[in-house]
Amino acid sequence: MAATAVKPLADRLDELRDWLARETPRDLPYDLDARFPRLVEWQRKLYDAGWLGYGWPAEFGGNGGGPTDKVILSVELARAAAPVPAGTIGLEVIGPTLTRFGTDAQRRRFLPPMLRGDEIWSQGFSEPEAGSDLASLRTRAEKVEGGYIVSGRKTWTSWGQFARWCGVLARTDPDVPKHKGISLLMVDMESEGAQTFPLVQMTGDAEFTETLFERVFVPDENVVGQPGDGWNLALDILAHERGPLVVRRQVEIAVGFEGIVENARRLVAAGVLADDARLRERVGRAWAQLRMLEAYAAGLMGHLVHGDLGPEASIGKRLVTEVEQAVFELGFDILGASRGLAEDAVPGMNADKWTRDYLYSRAASIYGGAAEIQRGIIAQRVLGLPRA
Ligand X SMILES: Cc1cc2nc3c(=O)[nH]c(=O)nc-3n(C[C@H](O)[C@H](O)[C@H](O)COP(=O)(O)OP(=O)(O)OC[C@H]3O[C@@H](n4cnc5c(N)ncnc54)[C@H](O)[C@@H]3O)c2cc1C
Decide whether 45 or 179 has the Cβ nearer to ligand X. Answer: 179
Element (H, E) at 99: helix 95-101
Burial grade of 164 (CB within 10 A; 0-12, 13-18, 19 or more): middle
By the rule CB under 6 A, 156 interacts with ligand X:
yes
Q: Which of ligand X, other proteins, none lies near 271, with the C-beta cut-off 5 to 8 A by kind?
A: none
* E strand residue ranges, 55-193: 121-124, 140-144, 147-158, 165-171, 182-188
In the chain, % helix, strand, coil (3-state, to 5) comes to 55, 15, 30
Least distance to other proteins, CB of residue 311, Å: 11
What is the distance between the terminal CA atoms of the chain, rounded to a whole angstrom?
A: 54
Question: How far apart (Å, rounded) are the C-alpha atoms in residues 187 and 374?
Answer: 29
Question: How far apart (Å, rounded) are the C-alpha atoms in residues 317 and 303?
Answer: 15
Decide whether 30 or 367 has the Cβ nearer to ligand X. Answer: 367
Decide whether 24 or 380 has the Cβ nearer to ligand X. Answer: 380
Decide whether 131 or 225 has the Cβ nearer to ligand X. Answer: 131
Does the annotation count 324 as an active-site position? no
Of residues 199, 250, 245, 205, the one with CA closest to residue 359? 205
Which parts of this chain interact with other proteins (CB under 8 A)? Answer: 261, 264-265, 268, 275, 277, 279-285, 287-289, 291-296, 298-299, 315, 318-319, 322, 372, 374-376, 378-380, 382-388
Least distance to other proteins, CB of residue 180, Å: 25
Chain centroid offset of residue 153 CA:
21
**Cβ-contact 332, 339 below 8 angstroms:** yes
Decide whether 175 or 276 has the Cβ nearer to other proteins. Answer: 276
By the rule CB under 6 A, 262 interacts with ligand X:
no
Instruction: Tell me which stretch binds ligand X (CB under 6 A): 42-50, 155-163, 179-187, 325-333.
Output: 155-163
Instruction: Tell me which stretch binds ligand X (CB under 6 A): 33-41, 151-159, 221-229, 285-293.
Output: 151-159
Q: Which of ligand X, other proteins, none lies near 208, with the C-beta cut-off 5 to 8 A by kind?
A: ligand X
DSSP character string of 206-258 = --EEEEEEEEEEEEGGGEESSTT-HHHHHHHHHHHHHHHHHHHHHHHHHHHHH
Chain centroid offset of residue 277 CA:
36
Question: How far apart (Å, rounded) are the C-alpha atoms in residues 194 and 151?
Answer: 9
Q: Which of ligand X, other proteins, none lies near 294, with the C-beta cut-off 5 to 8 A by kind?
A: other proteins
Q: Which of ligand X, other proteins, none lies near 373, with the C-beta cut-off 5 to 8 A by kind?
A: ligand X
Least distance to ligand X, CB of residue 134, Å: 7
Q: Which of 92, 119, 127, 241 is catalytic?
A: 241
Which residue has the closest beta carbon to ligand X? Answer: 131
Choose which of 47, 110, 162, 208 interacts with ligand X (CB under 6 A).
Answer: 208
Q: Which amino acid is at 377?
A: I
**Cβ-contact 155, 210 below 8 angstroms:** yes
**Cβ-contact 234, 369 below 8 angstroms:** no
By the rule CB under 6 A, 330 interacts with ligand X:
no
Choose which of 125, 162, 257, 354 interacts with ligand X (CB under 6 A).
Answer: 125
Least distance to other proteins, CB of residue 327, Å: 13
Q: What is the sign of the dihedral through the CA atoms of 249, 250, 255 and 256?
A: positive
- Enter the DSSP assignment of 130: B
Decide whether 68 or 157 has the Cβ nearer to ligand X. Answer: 157
By the rule CB under 6 A, 157 interacts with ligand X:
yes
Decide whether 236 or 322 has the Cβ nearer to other proteins. Answer: 322
Of residues 60, 56, 87, 61, the one with CA closest to residue 164? 87
Instruction: Tell me which stretch binds ligand X (CB under 6 A): 74-82, 98-106, 268-276, 370-378.
Output: 370-378
Catalytic residues, by residue number, are 241
